[in-house]
Chains A and B, each alone.
Chain A
Amino acid sequence: MRFAELAIRNFKEMLRDPISTGLELGIPAGFLAIFWALGRSMGDESFLTTTMLVPGIAVFGFAFLLMFSAMMLSRDRESALLARLLTAPLKPRDFILSYSLPYIPMVVLQIAVCFGIGALLGLETPGNAGLAFLVLLVMGICSVELGMILGLLFNVNQASGVGSVIITLVALLGGIWIDIEAIGGVFYSIGNALPFAHAIDAARDAIIGAGFSSIATDFYWVLGYTVVFFALGTFLFRQRMVE
C-alpha cells in the first residue's frame, strides 16, 4: 500500500485548490438549478424534468473532474516531482490508482449534491436509488480514468483544452438536456458509442424504478469503458516511466 501516501497527497492537493473544488461542486449545483428553471418555464412537456436532469448533470459534472484530474497529473509530470516519485519502487498501476482514488470521494459528493438539489427541486423518491448511484459512481470513475490518459498524453494547457472539448462533447452527445435518440443520425451513433449517454439512460431508468437486468447492457457498456481506460492509462504510464 505504498501508493496510499501518494493518494493522500493528491487528495490534499485537490482539496487545497479551492477554486477547482468549488467548480467541481458548484457547476453541477448551478447547472441543475438553471436547467430546472428553464424546464419549468417551458411547461409540462419539457424534457428538462428533475428525473432527466439529475443523472445528466451528475455526468456533466464528472467531465469537469476528468479535466481537473488530467491537469493534476500533467502538472506533476511537468514539474520534477513526478520524476522524483518515479525513482521510488512503485508500479504503473500504483501511480494510476494514486491519482485516481482521490477523486472518488468527489464523485460521490457530486452525486450527493445532484440528488440533494434534485430533491429540493422536486425529484420524487427515486425508485432504485442504490442502482442509480452505482451506475453514476462507475461513470465517475470512468471519467477520472479518461482524465489519467489525458494527463499522460498532454501538458497542463493542452489537458485543459482537450478537457474542455470533452466537456462540450458530453454536453452535446450525452443526452443531458436534449434527446439524442430523437435527433438520430451520426449525432446519435457517436453519442451511443460513448459511455456518457449509456450511464445517463441507465441512471434515469433506475430512478424511475428499473431493476439491474433492464439496465445491464448500459451498465456493462460503462464498466467496459472504465476497465479499458484504466488498462490504457496503466499501459501509457509504463511507457512514460522510462524515457
Chain B
Amino acid sequence: MSYGTNDNRFAIQTFSLSRKFGDLVAVDGIDLSIKEGELFSLLGPNGAGKTTAIKMLCCLLRPSSGTATIMGRDIHEDPMAVKQIIDVSPQETAIAEHLNARENLSLIGGIRGLAKEEVKKRSEELLEMVGLAKRAKEQVRKFSGGMKRRLSIAMALVSDPQVLFLDEPTLGLDPQSRRGIWEHIAELKGKKTILLTTHYLEEADALADRIAIIDEGKIAALGTPQELKDSISDMQVMVVKAKNLPPDVIEGLKEIYPEVKATEDGIEIRAKELSFYEIVDYLRPRGVAIQSTSLKQPTLDDVFLHLTGKELRE
C-alpha cells in the first residue's frame, strides 16, 4: 500500500497514520512532515491522541492504517533501524528507581550500544546540564518529581539521538521546575529534531518552531505559533472581570457569542465583532457585578478554543 512519497528533507513524516482501539479512533489519519532540526509540538488536551501518535512513531504501537518514516526509515518495515536513531522521554517518568542517576544514564547508553567511555563522558555532561551532578550517586527513588523528570529527559539524550520524542515532559511539575526543563529543551533547539507533545499552551508557544493542534485524533491546525495566532487575528477577545457570574448566565451569553470561556475571575468572549453595550446589557440585569472590561490579543488558547470549541484543560 502506498501512502505518499518519503522526502529525505524531513526527519519525521506520517502518512494517514491512524490507530483504533476497538471503536475508538485515537489517531485519525494524521499527515505530518517535520523538518530536520525542527522542534515540533503536538498540542492537545488529554486523550487527543498525542501519546498514541508518539508510541506509533517509537515502534511501540502498531498503526491500524497508514505509516510513518523516521529519517527515511519506515516504522513498519524497519523498526530496528528506527530504534537506532530515536530516543524518547515517556510521559510517565520512566527511570529505574533502585539505580542512581549515573547508573540510569549508563543503562540507557549501554542498551543503545555506546562505548563505556562515551557513556561516562555523556553522562557527566548531561548530569551537569540538568543540575543533578551533585546527586549523581543517590538512588533516584529519593528524588523529587522535578529531579526525576530532568533525569528522564537526560536519559533520552544520552545516546545523542537524531530524533527525540518528548511526551509531556513537564506534566504535573510546579512552574519553577517546568521553566527549568524548558531551558534544557531550548538548549537543544536546532541541534536535533524534537517532537514534543504537551497540553500546556505556554510550553508550545515558548519552545516550538511549529505547532500542530490535535483534537480527537485529528490535526485541527498547523503552523508557527504566530501563524496560528494570526489565523484568528480578525477575532476580538474581551476580558470581563466580574462577580456573581453563575453558569446559567454564561450559557445564556453563549447563545449570542458562542465562544465564551469562564476564567478564574470572570469570562473571556471571542468574536469577530463584539458589542461592549450588548454584553453589559446582558450581564447587568442578571445581577452580575462587572468590575472591569478590556480587549486583549488572541493567544494560542483562543486559537484552540476557536478551532475545537474546547478548552485545553477540560
B62 CB contacts on chain A under 8 angstroms: 242-243
Is B111 a contact partner of A3 (Cβ separation < 8 A)? yes
Query: Known contacts being A16-B98, A87-B59, is A80 close to B84, with CB within 8 Å?
Result: no
At the interface, yes or no: B307 with Cβ under 8 Å from chain A?
no
Contact with B along A57-92 (1 / 0, CB 8 A): 000000000000000000000011101111111100
Interface segment, one of A5-13, A21-29, A184-192, A227-235: A5-13
B88 CB contacts on chain A under 8 angstroms: 84, 87
Interface segment, one of B89-97, B182-190, B258-266: B89-97
Query: Known contacts being A16-B98, A80-B93, A81-B96, is A89 close to B83, with CB within 8 Å?
Result: yes
Is A90 a contact partner of B99 (Cβ separation < 8 A)? no
Is B111 a contact partner of A79 (Cβ separation < 8 A)? no
Complexed CA–CA distance, A232 and B129 (Å): 43
Complexed CA–CA distance, A7 and B87 (Å): 20
A90 CB contacts on chain B under 8 angstroms: 111
Is A79 a contact partner of B98 (Cβ separation < 8 A)? no
A84 CB contacts on chain B under 8 angstroms: 88, 90, 94, 108, 155
At the interface, yes or no: A17 with Cβ under 8 Å from chain B?
yes
At the interface, yes or no: A4 with Cβ under 8 Å from chain B?
yes
Is A88 a contact partner of B108 (Cβ separation < 8 A)? yes
Is B61 a contact partner of A242 (Cβ separation < 8 A)? yes
Complexed CA–CA distance, A48 and B223 (Å): 78
Complexed CA–CA distance, A88 and B106 (Å): 14
Query: Of the candidates B60, B92, B103, which one forms a contact with A87 in the assembled complex, judged by CB atoms under 8 Å apart?
Result: B60
At the interface, yes or no: A2 with Cβ under 8 Å from chain B?
yes
Taking beta carbons and an 8 Å cutoff, which residues of A are in contact with B?
A: 2-6, 8-9, 12-13, 16-17, 79-81, 83-90, 241-243
Excluding A80-B90, A84-B94, A90-B111, 8 further A-B contacts by CB distance (< 8 Å) are: A5-B109, A5-B110, A9-B107, A12-B98, A79-B94, A84-B88, A84-B155, A85-B111
Return 23 A-B CB contacts under 8 Å, by A number.
A4-B110, A5-B106, A5-B107, A5-B109, A5-B111, A6-B110, A6-B111, A9-B107, A12-B103, A80-B90, A80-B94, A84-B90, A84-B108, A85-B111, A87-B59, A87-B60, A87-B83, A87-B88, A88-B111, A242-B79, A243-B55, A243-B61, A243-B62
**A-B residue pairs, 4 tightest by C-beta:** A5-B110, A80-B94, A80-B92, A84-B94
